[in-house]
Structure 1
C-alpha cells in the first residue's frame, strides 16, 4: 500500500509539472518557471519535441507494415532476440509488461507481452511499425535511449504526449560489436506497476543480446540461397529449401503460411484456433504438426510463441507488400490464384479473403486492361472484372474477345 501511495504522489507531482510547464514551452519555447522540478534531460527533450509533436496526439505514427517485416527479417537483432524469445515472453507475461525491440531509427520491429497489455499498447501504436523517435513521438524512454546511447526510464507525465501518462517505460540501447547503436530494448507497463528492478532486467537482457551479436557470424553476410525457404501458397501450396521440396503435409503448409503472413507470431491457443476453429482436436495432434514442421525447417520456429526464426520468402507476403507500395503490376504478376484454395482453416480463409479483396480492388482501380485480363484468369465468375476489362480495351483490340467470352460464361453460369 505504501509503495502505491508513493507512486500516486509521484504521478501527481509530475502531472502538476507537465500542466504548468508544457503550456509555457508551447508559447515561449523556454521554461520561465517550474523546470527545476523536472530532470534536465527531460526538460531539454520537451523543448526539442514540441517543434514537431503535438502533446495531445493519441498515438504514434505508423510505418508501412511490409517495410517493417522486411527490416525485421534483415535486422542483426532478429536472431539474438529469437534466441531469447522464451525468456522475453516469460518476463513480459509474469511481470505484466510489453517488451519491444526497435531499429536504430526508433521504429518498433518486434513486441511481446500478455494479450491485455498488448491490446493497451496497440491503442497508442506501441507495436510493430510504430515510430517512437523524438521527432515522431516526443519524450519517451525509447527516444531518450536512442539519442543518448544510455539506458533511460520515463514515468507517467514525464512523457510529453498526454496519451502516455498512464505508462512507465524502461529502455536500454543495443550496441553492435563496432559500438554502433542497432536499436533499443524497451519494457513498458502501467504507471502503478513501476519498479526500479525493471531497469536491471532490461540491462541484463540487452547484455545477453550484445553477447550473441559478438559471437555469431557477421550480421551483414549475404544469405546462402540454399538455406532460404521459399513458400508458394497462391493457387497451390508448396515449400522448398533451395531446390529441395520440404515434403510438408497440407496442415503444415497452412501453419507455415500463417507464420509467414503474421511475422509477430501466434500464441499456441490462437494458432490452434486459426487452424481448427471450434473443431475438437487434441493438443497432441496440434503439437505433432508443429513438431514435424519444426524438424523440416531445421528448427526455424520459436517455442513459447510460435514465430518463424528461419529466412523465408512467400508469394502471398510479396503480393501484399507490392499492393502496399501501390505496385499493382508486381502484385498481379505474383498473384496466381486464391491462398491455399482447398484449405478450410479459419485463419487461412480470413487471409484468403483479405488477399482477394485487396488484389481485386487494385484491379478495378487500375487503368491498365492487362491487369483485369490477368486477374480474370483466376476469377472466371467475376462479371465486374470482365466488364472492367472490356471498358478499358479499345475497339479492334483482339483481347476484347477474351474478356467478352469470360463475361458471357460468367453471366450464363
Structure 2
C-alpha cells in the first residue's frame, strides 16, 4: 500500500504454540446490548464494564443511533486533506522507523485476520495495513483511510474511546455502540507527544471477533510506548543540537536568560536556577512577552529554538504592582484542557496534562487549600501517596509561580479563579478515575 508506515506480513511466525481462546462474550453482550436497550428505556441484561458504560452514555447524549449504518458516520476525507494530515502527523515517520524490515511491528499482527490502523487525534484514519481479505471486510464497516472513528462519528469503539479516555481500550463484539460493528473486536492505545503531552493519535488492531486474541491490547500498548520512546529520543537529539548553538551565546549575555526549544524545553540557562521546561504561547514571535514565572521577557530566535532574556526592571515593577489576578481553568473540551493566567502585562495560556488538570480542578473547588494527603485521597483514594502528589504539584508550581501557594496547596488568596466545565457534568475529565472527580461527575 502506498504511503503507509506499516509493513505487510500475511502469515504468523511458524512453530508457535497455539493461542488460548478469547474469553467468552460477557452476558450483557450475548443478550440485547445496552446500546439498544438504553435508548428505548429498557434495563440492560447485565452491567457493562465502567469504561464501556460511560462511552455508551456519551454516545446517547450525542444523539447517535446504534442502528445506523457505517456510512452514516460522516464523509471520508478527500485525498488532499488526508495527505495533509499525514504530512502533519508525527506518527508516520516514527512507526516507519519501528516497523521497517522483517520483524517490525507489522509482523506482530496476523495480516490475514487483523488490520492495523493509525489515526490522528480526532479519530480520522490516516493509515491502515492488513491482508486483502480483511481489508475488504474493513471496507464494509468503513474502517478505511479518511474515515471518522471518533466516538462522535462512530460511537463506542477502541480508537474513539481510547482517544476520549487517553488510555488503552479493548472493545469486544457487542460492546460496540453501533450494531454494524458487533462482529468485530478492536484494541487501541493512544500516543502522546512526550515533549508537551499533546495527544497525537491512536494505534489500533481490529479484526473479526471470533479470531481475536486477548493479548492484542498489550501489543498495541507496547507499540504506542515504543512510538513515544522514539519521539523522546529524537527530541533529546534536537535539544542537544540547540545547546551546542546556544552555549556560546549565553556566555555573552548579562543577567538571566535561557535557550528553549519550540516546546519550551530548556537547552541551556545562565544567571538563574536550572529549569526543565518553560511554558510558551502557541504563537510565540520575537519581541517582548509576559511569562508567568519570569515576568516580562525579550524573545529572540535561535536555530531550533528561542533565546529568552528576563527584563529585570519590568520584573521589579510587576512585583510592586502585585501578582496576576485572574485564573481561568478551561475543562470544557473532553480531551484538551488549559489554564489562562491574566495579569497587568497581559494573558498567558498553558495546556494541561490530564494529571495537572485534575489537580488544578481540585484546588479550584477547594479554595481554602488541600494538603498532600488530602490530594492523594482525592486523586488516588489513598492518603499515603503523598510523594507522587508533591512531585506533580512541584511541576505545576514551576509553571505557575505567583499563582499557587503551598502548605496547604492552594491558589493564592488574591487570585480570582473561574472554572469552565463541560456542557454535561458526566463529561468532566472523562479520562479521570480520581474518586473526587468521579463524585463530581455524579453530582
Q: TM-score, normalised by structure 1?
A: 0.48
Greater share of residues in strand: 2
Structure holding more helix per residue: 1
